[in-house]
Amino acid sequence: MSEKVLPLTALSEEQQMLVDEVRRFATEVIAPKAQEMDRVSKLDPEILNLMFEMGLMGIDIPEQYGGSGMTFTDAILVIMELARVEPGVAVVCDVQNTLVNNAIQRWGSEDQRKKYLTKLAADTVGCYCLSESDSGSDAFALRCRAEQDGEGWKITGNKIFITNGLEAGVFLVFANVDFEKGYKGITCFILEKGMDGLSIGQKEDKLGIRASSTVEVLLDGVRVGSEQVLGEVGKGYKVAIETLNEGRIGIGAQMVGLAQGSLDYAKQWCLERKQFGREIAKFQGVQFALAKMDVETEAARLTVLNAAKIKEAGQNFAREAAICKYFSADAAEHASSMAVELYGGYGFSRDYPVEKLYRDAKIGKIYEGTHFMQLQTIAKILLG
């Protein structure tokens, strides 16, 4: 008799312990504060401090730099668990791990890793400053300028929709050093809070993920030395493209967690809510709705874990990252919408959690590459 085949979603003992720990944290600490954070549009500082204490802000940073020394997949599992309860908190963890930490680990010099990864693992939030008012899906149309200033650079421009910007101490800023070269002039710089000329502008009043800050970052002639260049001058486009591919797996994980949370709430409601003398879970139409949510959530989970596995194997995963982000965003939107419907009039009330998840879900089709951009990426690879 052949051995039992383990599913792709099977976890190692260590991973299961991690998931259990994060689930307890999310349920006992984050969930009671979720509605208030959404109402005031602010991350509770105690939650942020606890995420640092638990090692969740430096999951795959090597232990030599003070990180948890885990894997990319471990980070994805953590993001899923946080998003089951509070997607706004999940994105704080996601951007830190899949974008900021990842970029510095991959492209940073040893001095930069020692200086910044130790901070990011211990107590410092990072943000990723790429988007501008005329540079969204066309990311390389950015107008932020970096001019030679002696042996260093002077950076001028405005960045918008910057996640974690309000709490950030480290800023990865993309600017063009030579517009005549087009995207080949784009360079990534590491900036720090408190630098002259760096300030925070408007904070967005968002539809969802309101616990996560989204702000404008203003750069008024910020002077930095050459040692603040991440990677090589003129190679910032590579940093952006390759980092965002990994970030899309993180967004997929957020959306899977959100879909699972929607299903969990809906299932419990349908087992308790009675109409016509019995629990509504006993009606076939409700059963089918829950079953479809389960199917789509599990399928989305598989696309995310598959993309993470291919990434960890060192293979090209651009297609899989786009697929998992695209499919998971759809699954989250469908699951949260159906959860609202199953709650009936209660689902339309802010007194119940599914209304918030419904609002949180929409961003999955927008940030780190819109739904249309994911389809474009998949089509390009498909057609060679």
Catalytic residues: 368
DSSP strand pairing (168-176 vs 125-129):
parallel
> CB-side exposure of 242: number of CA atoms within 13 Å?
17
Give CA separation, 373 vs 161, 316, 321, 379, in Å. Answer: 18, 18, 12, 10
- The helix (run of H) or strand (run of E) holding residue 222 is strand 214-224
- The helix (run of H) or strand (run of E) holding residue 175 is strand 168-176
Torsion (CA) 104, 109, 111, 116 in degrees, nearest 10: -10
- Nearest alpha carbon to residue 177 among 148, 201, 156, 199: 148
DSSP 8-state class, residue 369: S
Q: How far apart are alpha carbons 112 and 99 in whole angstroms?
A: 16
Contact assessment for residue 171 and residue 193, using Cβ atoms and an 8 Å cutoff: yes
